[in-house]
């Protein structure tokens, strides 16, 4: 299953990061892939949607996600998250602090996609 891929929404390209039911080891691998894809794109161009439903993170995975988010920052235009439940707020605050960029939270993937491309 491809966890990192570009999708189209209303004619715009969005990088979809599918972390649903992701175990900590998969989160590490996914973060590496996200960083590689994002940094290959032009600065201030990438729209990112992360689905965190059922994802589990350990310290190593969280540390890797923080580093990737900080490294990717120049290339990201907007970021949104869905499905993280209780951990989403913590993850959003942690990533925001380390990357110095905002993450919007939404109840559904469709709402997030609409916001990203607006």
Domain ranges of the chain: 4-117
At residue 99, the pLDDT reads 83
* Reported CATH class of domain 4-117: alpha beta
Give the pLDDT confidence of 57-116 residue by residue, as tens digits. Answer: 899 999 999 999 999 999 999 999 998 777 767 887 888 888 888 889 899 999 999 999
Q: Give a three-class secondary structure readout of 13-62.
A: EEEEEECCCCCHHHHHHHHHHHHHHHHCCCCCCEEEEEECCCCCCCHHHH
- Label residue 28 exposed, middle or buried (CB < 10 Å: 0-12, 13-18, 19+): buried
């Amino acid at each position: 299953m491809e966890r990192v891929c570009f999708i189209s929404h209303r004619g715009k390209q969005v990088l979809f990061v599918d972390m649903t039911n992701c175990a900590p080891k998969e989160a590490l691998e996914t973060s590496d892939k996200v960083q590689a894809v994002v940094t290959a794109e032009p600065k201030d161009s990438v729209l990112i949607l992360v689905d965190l439903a059922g994802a589990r993170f350990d310290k190593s995975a969280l540390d890797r996600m923080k580093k990737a988010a900080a490294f990717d920052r120049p290339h990201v235009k907007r970021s949104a998250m869905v499905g993280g439940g209780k951990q989403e707020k913590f993850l959003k605050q942690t990533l925001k602090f380390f990357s110095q960029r905002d993450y919007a939270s939404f109840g559904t993937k469709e709402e997030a996609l609409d916001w990203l491309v607006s």
